[in-house]
Chain A
Amino acid sequence: MLRVDGITAGYGPVTILRDLSFQAAPGQVTCIMGRNGAGKSTLMKAIMGLVPVQSGQISLSGVPVHSLPAHKVPLQGIAYVPQGRRLFGPLTVAENIEIGLFTRKKGLQTRNFVLDLFPRLAERLDQVASTLSGGEQQMLAIARALCLEPSVLLLDEPTEGLQPSMIALIRDTVLRLRETGLATVLVEQRMDTVMRMADRVAFMAHGRVEADVARDQLTPDSSLFQQFVGV
């Protein structure tokens, strides 16, 4: 269980997240929705240790992670797919996967698992990552994160800019991973995707989670979407 308890975080003197709390349970997809500037991506970065947490606590299965240096957070079992994928563009597909396996002593089994999950990557191992299509880049970003063998997966707008067939593929993959017991935190702007994937939805505004509801309490015409996302 990933727990975020009352964190305040930001960049230097600028505070973005204010007393924010939420949690993500194993085997569930927790969606984070909110307008641009609500602090969704900053929350992802704060969990990964990439944005300093000024107060509050982030813990994974009871172990605090907010005070760890950023490079030790993934060792605790938290993997991150950043907004815009942020692949190592000049490196090949195989090298990106190898970076994902950097902390693993024996990564062959994991490597095979992610290549089975995304067979198209297996066909393009020697291709430079920046030359892949948008959908393939997103597959690689997810595959690279899964190489960490995480118990929590943070996905920051993974369907952004993708064609419908790729969105469906990413969606199916996330749902398959959910079956393995992975706790997934998904930042998403598309209401239809959220309605199909989420177990819980947290609505953010002004650096706080203002509403946290179970998916089955939501309908597409819920006022929460209008209030916090504007759709």
Chain B
Amino acid sequence: MAAVLALTAVGLSLVFGVMRVVNVAHGEFYMIGAVVAWFVTYYLPFPPALAWLAALIIAPLAVALIAALADTLVLKRLNYDPEATIVATIGLLYMLQQAALTFYGSDARPVVAPFQWRIQLPWFGYSGYKLFVVLAAAIILVAVWVFMTRTKAGLVMRATQVDRETAQAFGINVDRVYAGTFALGGALAAAAAVLIVPIQQAHYLMGHDPLLLSFIVVIIGGLGSIRGTLVAALVIGLSDGVISMFFSPTLAKIIATLLVAMVLVFRPQGLFGARA
């Protein structure tokens, strides 16, 4: 849970960090990723592992395309005005949700795991796939970090994050950077969904929980801070899992919300965020 949450939250944090857009539709990118994964694994006549692998490639690409289109057709026209983009992404949330309801239906449908393998220890057993999810999420997060810190595209994104106007004065096409960032954020949410969908099920309302938890994570970690997002995702993901398992999911959400309230009161910029 923590690993997948980190992926989703990093996408949200990246979009806010570079574009200053609070993407309320981020959970729906996650949901669309899961739905596309179901379609790919259901219709492709491949063995489960291969079909799932195809979904891991196709779903993030499809969601990246939707996100880039949403950026170009909606957010760019609003000139990335912070308040207007919040309203616009709320609209996008409902459009994506209703599109999924129309074309996918209201059923929750399972995606077959790419492999059925269990680690059997003397005192308990554990799903090998869940361990694989942690590993895969970690690999994707490292790839994102390398992309942001070691590539020219990442450098351009960081420069645009610091100063959009000055970036343009050095030949950087900010519109293209924003479309790419929004696409990358969506792709990360979709990748998280493809990883989780063999454990949960694809459903048109499944975007709410990851959106709420992602916001909790990025507020605690510090909006725009990838390091803070990772730390907070670990804390919130683990505590949500443990408290949900031994007490109740409602209590887990109450505690997470309380944590957000405390951060907002005592350290409004988040644990690792820069002071405004």
Q: Which residues of A contact B (CB under 8 A)?
A: 48-50, 69-75, 79-80, 82, 86, 88-91, 95, 98-100, 102-103, 144, 148
Contact = CB atoms under 8 A, between A and B. Distances in A.
B54 interface: no
Contacts of A100: 170
A74 B171 CA distance: 6
A57 to B, nearest CB: 20
Given A99-B156, A102-B156, A91 B162 contact: yes
Interface of B: 152, 155-156, 158-159, 162-163, 165-174
A91 B158 contact: yes
Contacts of B168: 48-50, 70-71
Q: Which of A69, A89, A98, A102 has the most CB of B within 10 A?
A: A102
Nearest to A48: B169
21 contacts: A50-B165, A50-B168, A69-B173, A70-B168, A71-B168, A71-B174, A73-B169, A74-B169, A82-B166, A88-B158, A88-B166, A90-B158, A95-B155, A95-B158, A98-B155, A100-B170, A103-B170, A103-B171, A144-B170, A148-B170, A148-B171
B162 A89 contact: yes
Nearest to A154: B169
A71 B173 contact: yes
Contacts of A89: 162
Given A89-B162, A91-B162, A102 B170 contact: yes
Contacts of B172: 71, 99, 102
A91 B159 contact: yes
Contact of A74 (B152, B155, B159, B170): B170
A48 B169 CA distance: 7
A70 B165 CA distance: 9
Do most interface residues of chain B lie in helix, strand or loop, or is the interface mixed? helix
Given A50-B165, A102-B171, 17 more contacts: A69-B173, A71-B168, A71-B172, A74-B169, A86-B165, A88-B162, A90-B162, A91-B158, A91-B162, A99-B155, A99-B159, A99-B167, A99-B170, A100-B170, A102-B152, A102-B170, A103-B170
Contacts of B174: 71
Closest 8 A/B residue pairs (Cβ) = A103-B171, A70-B168, A88-B162, A86-B166, A74-B171, A71-B173, A71-B168, A80-B169
B159 A88 contact: yes
A151 B115 CA distance: 62
Contacts of B171: 71-72, 74-75, 102-103, 148
Contacts of B162: 88-91
A74 B170 CA distance: 6
A97 to B, nearest CB: 11
Nearest to B176: A71
A176 to B, nearest CB: 23
A119 to B, nearest CB: 23
A88 B171 CA distance: 15
Contacts of B156: 99, 102
A79 B171 CA distance: 10
B115 to A, nearest CB: 42
A40 B167 CA distance: 21
Q: Which of B163, B169, B173, B174 has the most CB of A within 10 A?
A: B169
Contacts of A72: 171
A223 B203 CA distance: 77
B169 A82 contact: yes
A106 to B, nearest CB: 14
B191 to A, nearest CB: 27
B212 to A, nearest CB: 30
Contacts of A49: 168
A75 B169 CA distance: 9
Nearest to A86: B166
A90 B160 CA distance: 12
A222 B274 CA distance: 49
Contacts of A86: 163, 165-166
A126 to B, nearest CB: 13
Contacts of B173: 69, 71
B153 to A, nearest CB: 11
A48 B167 CA distance: 12
A102 B154 CA distance: 12
A72 B156 CA distance: 16
A96 to B, nearest CB: 8
A73 B152 CA distance: 21
Contacts of A73: 169
A70 B168 CA distance: 6
Contacts of B170: 74, 99-100, 102-103, 144, 148
Contacts of A99: 155-156, 159, 167, 170, 172
